[in-house]
Structure 1
Amino acid sequence: MAEKMSWLTNLITDFKKYASLKIVVVFIMVFNFSCKENTKILEDKHLQLEAIIKSDSLPTEANIEIETKKEVAPLASLIDTTFIRLADYSDGFAYDLRYATDNNFLKEKVYDCAECYTRVKTAKALITANEEFKKVGMKIKFYDCYRPNSVQYKMWKIVPNPQYVANPVKGSIHNKGGAVDITLVTLDGEELDMGTDFDYFGKRAYHDNLDLPQEILDNRKLLKETMEKYGFWSTRTEWWHYNLNGATNDPIANFNWSCD
């Protein structure tokens, strides 16, 4: 009887070992299959992203209006959703368009050349706000304006983090021609101290960070209150970023300006 029990015990032990081994083998097979599938998905998404970046056929509004005539039409005669080159309608701004250089948080140039386009309604508000800044010896300086959606995909490829770059599928208000990244300079071009450089991602750049020298707080207040007066709203974590009221409802655009 004892021998039979010993034989039965050994059989059960062997079965458990076999079953455990079988489970391990099945797990490894499933894991390898999953890895291969995930790798394939990632490769497919990478190829799709490459195709999107190289293409100008991203989903965008139909019959987009872009004012590019040699003889510039009066601003008042244009539809508010038309895109214009801001410098054609005012010489009172300053520019340091960082994404046309590698002097940005991406450390890469993503624009072929530096231009500042916005929709007409955004331009009207900017020009009016700038006239008020001029009364106190200041003017707006631009770091970024309208951004093609294809460029948003480029940025996402470099830094795929929604904390720093808007997901290009949903788009940024920059892609809609209703957002600008700005600072203030004197009429002679000297930048006001805003506490950080453009695209500094940290608490020192927050609007609600009051633990800063009074001069910096005053400079930010001047920029913020004046921009809000003319229809813009700010982003809490970025002192330089302003969106035009209602611009979130505009469609994403993807036209690229000429560098001729």
Structure 2
Amino acid sequence: MSRLSAVLRTLALPLTALLAVSAAPAPAAHAEPEPRPPKEFVALSDVDPTILQEMRYFTRHNFTGHRVDGYRRPVCLLTRPAAEALHRAQRVLLRKGYTLKVYDCYRPQRAVNDFVAWAKDLGDERMKAEFYPQVDKSRLFLDGYIAEKSGHSRGSTMDVTLVRLPARPTRPYVPGEPLVPCYAPKGVRFPDNSVDMGTGYDCFDTLSHTLDPRIDGRRRANRLLLKSTLEGAGFVNLKEEWWHYTLRDEPFRDTYFDFPVR
């Protein structure tokens, strides 16, 4: 071998080694394990299987028009004290010929973040005609309809309504179907097997205020029945939303969880 060949071979060996290292696959990144619910959380169906569940954010029939991040299963999760208090309210209502129905329970922080991102996208108004027909989307934060934190993420808040027994099924929403304002008469707006509360669920309108004086007669009586029963079981109503209740003695007052609903 010539002196030049030997030199070239000596130079080639480190280069070959370097190329081999570069071509080797990178070590697999370890995915962060998803947070798990603490032991204080339960599935509502394990505490009271008679309470109906129509988990709207698992579906596309909500104000965003898409399945919300963090909802892996259409199930209601709550802290055990909240679930047991809801069970006590259900026992009272069953004797009167009604059942509770929940639309949303524990809500992970990632779902709240999804709401915030949607609200900032002013071009996405696909569900406006039903859920916020009279509210400019640019005002959703200012008017308090969307916020960066939700009591739902603490696990003791739920969105709930009343259904007269025997409960009839609610037909599924068909994406793209014509939308009707959430404050339209009950026989006109999207069908729901709940009693008439004066507006549909998640209606961004002052008519949704629990004691709005424009809601009268049977509709007002329905709201007051829900309110008095849940308050008797230890819940507090959010006065701007007839459907929104929080356990008065909630166990996690300052903790906002982010484990997915599954």
* Residue of 246, 249, 253 corresponding to 2:253: 249
- Describe how 1:141-180 pairs up with structure 2 within 5 A: 141-160=101-120, 161-162=140-141, 163-167=144-148, 171-180=149-158
If the length of structure 2 is used for normalisation, what is the TM-score?
0.65
1:200 counterpart residue number:
203
The CA deviation at 1:257 is: 3.5
2:242 alignment partner, SS class: strand
1:87 alignment partner, SS class: helix
1:240 counterpart residue number:
243
CA distance in 2, matches of 1:202, 1:55: 40
The CA deviation at 1:212 is: 2.4
Aligned length: 183
1:226 counterpart residue number:
229
The CA deviation at 1:151 is: 1.3
- Describe how 1:96-135 pairs up with structure 2 within 5 A: 96-110=54-68, 111-135=71-95
Task: Judging by fraction of residues, say which structure has more helix.
Answer: 1
The CA deviation at 1:85 is: 0.7
Q: Which amino acid in 2 is paired with 1:108?
A: H
Q: Which amino acid in 1 is paired with 2:109?
A: N
The CA deviation at 1:105 is: 1.1
CA distance in 2, matches of 1:129, 1:253: 26
Q: Which amino acid in 2 is paired with 1:105?
A: F
User: Which structure has the greater CA radius of gyration?
Assistant: 1
Give the structure, 1 or 2, with the largest relative contact order (CA under 8 Å, sep 6 or more): 2
The CA deviation at 1:203 is: 1.7
Percent identity between matched residues is 31
1:228 alignment partner, SS class: helix
The CA deviation at 1:117 is: 0.1
Unaligned runs of 5+ in 1: 1-53, 67-81
2:243 alignment partner, SS class: strand
1:213 counterpart residue number:
216
* Residue of 34, 38, 41 corresponding to 1:65: 38
If the length of structure 1 is used for normalisation, what is the TM-score?
0.66
1:181 alignment partner, SS class: strand
CA distance in 1, matches of 2:101, 2:147: 23
Query: Does the CA-based 8 Å contact 1:90-1:127 persist in structure 2?
Result: yes
2:222 alignment partner, SS class: helix
CA distance in 2, matches of 1:233, 1:151: 23
Deviation per CA, 1:75-128, whole angstroms, max 9, x where unpaired?
Answer: xxxxxxx00011122211111111011111111111233110000010110000
Unaligned runs of 5+ in 2: 1-30, 121-139, 168-192
Q: Which amino acid in 2 is paired with 1:101?
A: T
